[in-house]
Chain A
């Protein structure tokens, strides 16, 4: 029998039993919907992380103390104090592919103004910080080289600090807040940046000259990290090589020693974050895929019932000349069609869930095109895989017994 006729018969059989067909599709609909929405969430998260990282400038390089930590073991704490003023100066003077440098020191504590207080983090930076992170000062000014030299007690604050400490709408610029009991005069306010993907409030910051933070707040002589800007994104790799050479020299490392610092480009960050998201996505999708397996078993179950119910029809078809192959193809195509229709509805269901995710919850989710195609392919595979046994059962019926079956 031709394929077109087989499809016609299958469509008719499905329509003759609408309720049951829909119920057997339901598992596939839910399964595919879940897979689609999981993939959409994974993809959406990845994309927004990417955008987040790009917002911070794609040519930013981060130098951290200690060897590469990816999958490693943290060594003794002194290894974490290797970045010093000398390193900063060496980079400033010698680095060829880097045009902006800011050492970073951070300390957490309480910021107080009048009767209001809030917990925040104070970052010590150089004047290059703004252009490295692509941040903007909305009101007032950023601190100057002069402030850095004098360890001036000045700071620039984020929107959250303004909201928490100046709830009545006073102009924060010119006011003096206390951070860890040290008075800091606010000279500027950052433009709002909102939360990042890790749920961190990027506006809950106080930025002061690094000298101020090191000497007056944190009382430490090492940096937590050094931020640099490569001249262009393309030169990032060369910049990393160059910086590595400089730091190995200032750290007096022998050829046999491993680096006691790590330099990461934004690209590497992106890759790390992406691969983490990929892992999470895979776990979610595998969980959803199990529901597809169960759905396939459901289809097999319904098809077996259907074969038994239509024994007489099978007997008739055989007696008028249907071969076993014709019969098995008929049931196989019916199973594939059920599964594929379920898949189609599942994709729509998944799209609906994704839309809900975006508009109702506000979580970024993007359906990757390939996930739709993969879903359809999986549905066909489920149809064939789980339709095969019932189809074989139908094909092996004895026409003599089947035609007289009551």
Chain B
């Protein structure tokens, strides 16, 4: 593999002060993620996966060690520099969608581009529509967030993560709030994005999801316990088709 390295962690540690005690959330994490990988990061609660996600998402900086995102060192960056980096290089998908209330799908998707001066209002809207079409919501552009189902909301959130054409999409338990069928629908979408060459990091505690990704990293107590390439990627579309037909309601 001589593909570009998108993410590189070198012995990343993160300590928190809780009262007089120091909690070591990450105890020296090192890995590289190349362009086009679909990586699941797994671990039980307390394993440090949320802390790792915050590091990868440039929401936080390491206590020690180095983190390079797309070749740029994040550790020494100021808050506003990291905000800019998130805006240009990262697309977040959250467990509970985090859409703006009483706001249409297009406006929600436009949000990241609002903080990018290079986009005009027209370009912003065009990019948002394209992203919504890519997630199969081309016919729900003007629907407000409270008029959509969970699956639709999560697809709007994915469109929002795509709209800035990021170096990496970070999904945090992106199927955690969805039923089985909708979860598979969302996984189908992630696999489609993977097939299109996008780099995806999917943080989850659900071991099933690892079967659909190209690589699986397991954390325990702030350390990497397992880092394996998945040579037998299952198709989420097939799994979806195998599900019993939804009952009419």
Contact = CB atoms under 8 A, between A and B. Distances in A.
A5 B114 contact: yes
B181 interface: no
A167 interface: no
Interface in A1-60: 1-2, 5, 12, 16
A16 B98 contact: no
A319 B100 CA distance: 13
Interface in B81-120: 83-84, 86-88, 92, 94, 98, 100-103, 111-112, 114-117
B59 A320 contact: no
A324 B160 contact: no
A331 to B, nearest CB: 15
Interface string A110-138: 00000000000000000000000000000
A313 B84 contact: no
Contact of A321 (B60, B86, B94): B86
Interface in A388-404: 399-400, 403
A320 B57 CA distance: 10
B27 to A, nearest CB: 19
Contacts of A1: 114-115
Most buried by B among A5, A321, A399: A321
A222 to B, nearest CB: 83
B contact residues, range:
20 to 34
Most buried by A among B54, B94, B102, B115: B115
Nearest to B60: A400
B102 A321 contact: no
A201 interface: no
B79 interface: yes
A contact residues, range:
20 to 34
B127 to A, nearest CB: 14
Given A5-B114, A399-B59, A400-B60, A323 B84 contact: yes
Contact of A325 (B60, B80, B86, B116): B80
A403 B87 contact: no
A316 B96 CA distance: 11
A316 B117 contact: no
Interface in A281-329: 312-313, 315-326
B15 to A, nearest CB: 15
A134 B231 CA distance: 111
Most buried by A among B80, B98, B103, B164: B98
Interface string A211-237: 000000000000000000000000000
A321 B87 contact: yes
A325 B115 CA distance: 11
Given A319-B86, A326-B115, A400 B54 contact: yes
Given A320-B111, A320-B112, A321-B115, A312 B80 contact: no
A321 B112 contact: yes
Given A1-B114, A313-B100, A326-B115, A320 B87 contact: yes
B94 A323 contact: no
A5 B120 CA distance: 11
B160 A319 contact: no
B183 to A, nearest CB: 21
Interface string B51-87: 0001001011000000000000000000110011011
Interface string B235-246: 000000000000
Nearest to A319: B92
Most buried by A among B59, B80, B94, B103: B59
A321 B83 contact: yes
Contacts of B84: 321, 323
A321 B88 contact: yes
Interface in B15-72: 54, 57, 59-60
B100 A316 contact: yes
Given A319-B59, A322-B115, 12 more contacts: A2-B117, A313-B101, A316-B100, A317-B111, A318-B83, A321-B86, A322-B83, A322-B87, A325-B80, A326-B83, A400-B60, A403-B98
23 contacts: A2-B117, A16-B101, A312-B98, A315-B98, A318-B59, A318-B83, A319-B86, A319-B92, A320-B86, A320-B87, A320-B111, A320-B115, A321-B83, A321-B86, A321-B88, A323-B80, A323-B84, A324-B79, A324-B80, A326-B115, A400-B54, A400-B60, A403-B98
Interface of B: 54, 57, 59-60, 79-80, 83-84, 86-88, 92, 94, 98, 100-103, 111-112, 114-117, 160, 164
Interface of A: 1-2, 5, 12, 16, 312-313, 315-326, 399-400, 403
